[in-house]
Amino acid sequence: MTGTATPILELRDVVTCYGRIQALKGVSLSVMPGEIVTIIGANGAGKSTTLMTICGITPPQSGAVFYQGQRISGLSPDLLPSRGLCQVPEGRRIFPRLTVRENLEMGAFFRRDKDGVQRDLEHVFSLFPVLRERRRQRGGTLSGGEQQMLAIGRALMGRPRMLLLDEPSLGLAPLIVRHIFSIIERINKQEGVTILLVEQNANLALQLASRAYVMETGRVTMEDDARALLANEAIKKAYLGE
């Protein structure tokens, strides 16, 4: 691990259930400020559930989530964005009948600093110029890649200190994926936003991240430097398609 001693995000032995199904069976992980950490794993491993549990959408049955040293498990999810914890969820979840601009404004819903919001809107438009062109269009009419940009832009409107990203590359053409990953890197390097990235595309994710967790059926089965995992034979076979 790098940086200061206290993690910005920590999960301790988190168990989360859907009805009687245990989706997370005791997950522990931690992310240090400024890091890019990735979670990789097969379908149904519990990656999205981990992010939703962090955000309070599916509260843990036992165990706890700490953010900036404070316990956040049990808090109502709508209190987290104002603390700097934002998520770009799986499937993007654009508000389909709000315009692009309204979607972005909703990302800043909790903020009262109108000038700051306006500046951040310009910033998002400069990161993703296509969104400026489409600002009056309904979110639901955007292409998949544009929706992903909008979802990231919407999260950035909340000025996050920590961003959770769930499969930003899903269903996108390689060129767009590269663009989106370069933006993620830029958000991390230039704006100092800590990133927890869930990815199916393990190759890309491990190249971007400094550390990684591997999940299998509700458990963390491996944790290492991203580079070490890229070279790991078992990982190569299971997740890198080699």
Ligand X SMILES: Nc1ncnc2c1ncn2[C@@H]1O[C@H](COP(=O)(O)OP(=O)(O)OP(=O)(O)O)[C@@H](O)[C@H]1O
Where along the sequence are the contacts to another protein (CB under 8 A)?
A: 55, 57, 76-82, 86-87, 89, 93, 95-98, 102, 105-107, 109-110, 138, 154, 158
Residue 81: which of another protein, ligand X, Mg ion, none does it interact with, CB under 5 to 8 A by kind? another protein
Give the other-Cβ count within 10 Å of 186's Cβ: 12
Of the candidate spans 8-16, 26-34, 88-96, 231-239, the one that interacts with Mg ion by CB under 5 A turns out to be 88-96
CB of 201 to Mg ion, least distance (A): 13
In angstroms, the CA 170 to CA 93 distance is 13
Residue 102: which of ligand X, Mg ion, another protein, none does it interact with, CB under 5 to 8 A by kind? another protein
Sign for the pseudo-dihedral over CA of 234, 174, 188, 195: negative
Instruction: Tell me if 90 contacts Mg ion by CB under 5 A.
Output: yes
Q: Measure the CA dihedral 161/37/89/203, to 10°.
A: 140
Q: What value, to the nearest 5°, has the Cα angle with vertex 40 and ends 34 and 46?
A: 105
In angstroms, the CA 33 to CA 55 distance is 18
Of the candidate spans 82-90, 94-102, 136-144, 217-225, the one that interacts with Mg ion by CB under 5 A turns out to be 82-90
Sign for the pseudo-dihedral over CA of 225, 27, 199, 182: negative
String of DSSP letters for 131-164: HHHTTTSBGGGS-HHHHHHHHHHHHHTT--SEEE
- Which backbone phi and psi does 151 adopt, to 5 degrees? -65, -40
The residue (of 18 and 114) whose beta carbon lies closer to ligand X is: 18
Instruction: Tell me if 45 contacts ligand X by CB under 6 A.
Output: yes
CB of 9 to another protein, least distance (A): 16
CB of 125 to ligand X, least distance (A): 30
Q: Using CB under 6 A, which of 11, 29, 40, 49 touches ligand X?
A: 49
CB of 206 to another protein, least distance (A): 26
